[in-house]
Structure 1
């Protein structure tokens, strides 16, 4: 049973990686006339709400969120988005708490990445991650969630390590 689950998990990860590669390759595809064919921008789909709370439980900011749970959703994240409204973000949900790392390949907008442990506490972050940069942005600590919001929002909202989140999926 364990082997079967492992094979399925590996197959899903491979499928996600292949899909990401195909999307990346398509982004730069040229037609017969040599003109670039652009991928249509991915549109926001509200899948839940999330509140960022200070250490005392007071609300700092309420957001509409998309949720990334599958390997494919986690791999693509906010890639190919040209804009994102200030009150929106993407919550990444990992099956278990561990050190995770992000990068900005094919991400067109700067992002703040908040790393959150299993107790829903913000334990680290990456501020103003540079678009299209493939530099690793590790959590540095074991986390079960990550939240991506527009770059500069952590400072604007006054979010700090030790603050918490609460969320509800639609």
Structure 2
């Protein structure tokens, strides 16, 4: 028996015990299942402008909608996410730098929506009706657009808005 045998056995025991303790600690630190949490902060409507929809045949006014404007990268990415409600007289107008193909989805969106795709000449070119909450399927514009108006689902039918109608909008200073 060597002079260092008890020390080597103690060192081995220490390493083995440290390893076992590490395994126990790591296994107890599993991530808890996370719940899908909606925004804790209530997001409310902030009127930033007025939008009018005009009938394509006679230019008569079909609707007037108070709008929130999404024109920054952050605003266009978040849109109406986490909104619990929206009145029939409200909507969100997305304004893009230039006319291009755009696609939307309903991730974290709690309200069913109609999406009006509008070209640079302010003409409604496509309407995607009744987009469902939380659906992450892409909703494409099908043609290049510069604006998209999101309103409550069914509102485009109730107001008689259709492809070919025109819009105008004014920002509130």
CA distance in 1, matches of 2:59, 2:160: 14
CA contact (8 A) 1:27 1:38 kept: no
- The CA deviation at 1:169 is 0.3
1:9 alignment counterpart? none
CA contact (8 A) 2:115 2:129 kept: yes
CA distance in 1, matches of 2:144, 2:51: 21
SS in 2 for 1:65: strand
SS in 2 for 1:83: coil
- The CA deviation at 1:38 is 5.1
CA distance in 2, matches of 1:38, 1:113: 23
> How many residue pairs end up in the alignment?
138
- The CA deviation at 1:27 is 8.3
Aligned counterparts, 1:125-136, within 5 A: 125-136=127-138
- The CA deviation at 1:125 is 1.3
- The list of structure 1 runs, each at least 4 consecutive aligned residues, that deviate by more than 4 angstroms after superposition, is none
Q: Deviations over 1:56-92 (max 9, x none)?
A: 2110010100000001000000000010010000000
Q: 1:27 to 1:139 in 2, by over 3 A?
A: farther
1:95 pairs with one of 94, 97, 104: 97
CA contact (8 A) 1:117 1:142 kept: yes
1:19 alignment counterpart? none
Structure 2, unaligned runs of 5 or more: 1-33
CA distance in 2, matches of 1:74, 1:109: 17
- TM-score, normalisation: structure 2: 0.77
SS in 1 for 2:149: strand
- The CA deviation at 1:49 is 0.2
- The CA deviation at 1:28 is 3.5
Matched, 1:106 2:108: yes
Q: Deviations over 1:66-122 (max 9, x none)?
A: 000001000000000010010000000000001100000000000000000000000
CA distance in 2, matches of 1:144, 1:40: 30
Structure 1, unaligned runs of 5 or more: 1-25, 30-36
- TM-score, normalisation: structure 1: 0.78
1:40 alignment counterpart? 41
2:50 alignment counterpart? 49
CA distance in 1, matches of 2:35, 2:76: 19
